Amino acid sequence: MTYKLSQITEQIDLTFTGDDIDIDGIHTLSEATSTELSFFNSEKYTDQLPNTKAAAVLIAEKYADLLPASTIALLTDEPYLKLALASKFFAHKLESKGGHPLMGENCDIDKRVHFGKNVTLGDNVTILAGCYIGDDVSIGSDTLLHPNVTLYHGTEMGERCIIHSGTVIGCDGYGFAHTKMGEHVKIYQNGNAVIEDDVEIGSNCTIDRAVFGTTYVRKGTKIDNLIQIAHNCDVGEHCLFASQVGLSGSTKLGRNVVMGGQSATTGHLEIGDFSTIAGRCVATKSLEGGKTYAGFPAIEHRMWLKLQAKISGLLKRKK
């Protein structure tokens, strides 16, 4: 989908100076190309402004001079809200009409599976009753989908994966911009989700698609039941998640991270390789690899044990 910049700005009530160029998507300042729109709403990304390749950027006037000469400044005091309004242009058009997948050899597909358009299946794929496979989905060889699994449009599934009943992959992330009156405007999630080879995902899990770009679950990771992975997360190779883990948006995990039951992360942080996060622990900042963490907020496990002993001692002394 390609639109003239004037079509977009007219709908979101902005004007601009410069050529009326073609826009075919939205991305971050660092990833946007010369045909994509971007936005700036946080000073922590100021250093990205001079180097962005975006065709146009939604930006407050006081920062506009930092943009390169090739980038059109779309001046607004509400860049995040205007982003939400513009994102609708590039939302995938949903249709009830499906298609027949391009299948490899020896696939076993229940007749009660619904396929969207342009679906590709590898060899020996098994899909059981009640699954929905959306448009432009690919599923690698030897992968098994148990009943009632949903793969939204654009999802990429690797080889030898096992997905258990009720799991949803590629649904919209929880993204809203807010008006000055406190109303909530949907940011359409126009990225996708990629599940690499040899991943197993339990029942009733949710893995959100990216706002733009990709949400990743890397190869060899094993995920228990009832787990939420938010938009733009990147789960490293061979991670292990116990039940009810929750990852907030844009969390990045290294390889072989272990997360205990009901543990969680806040958004936009990194967890180092070979970390262990104990049950009910919450990481509120990035954590070094190779260590075990516990508590809220997360601290090293040995320190947490000492803290609990101190608290227990104080209680006993008070009696």
The two structure tokens encoding residue 315? 């209680």
SS3 109: strand
Angle at 312 between CA 308 and CA 315, to 5 degrees: 140
Active site residue 231: yes
SS3 184: strand
What is the C-alpha separation between 31 and 56, in angstroms, rounded?
13
Distance of CA 197 to the CA centre of its chain: 18
- The catalytically annotated residue of 92, 146, 231, 238 is 231
What is the C-alpha separation between 230 and 51, in angstroms, rounded?
28
Sign of CA dihedral 35, 36, 40, 43: negative
The two structure tokens encoding residue 127? 């899909």
The two structure tokens encoding residue 194? 């990629």
| Active site members | 231
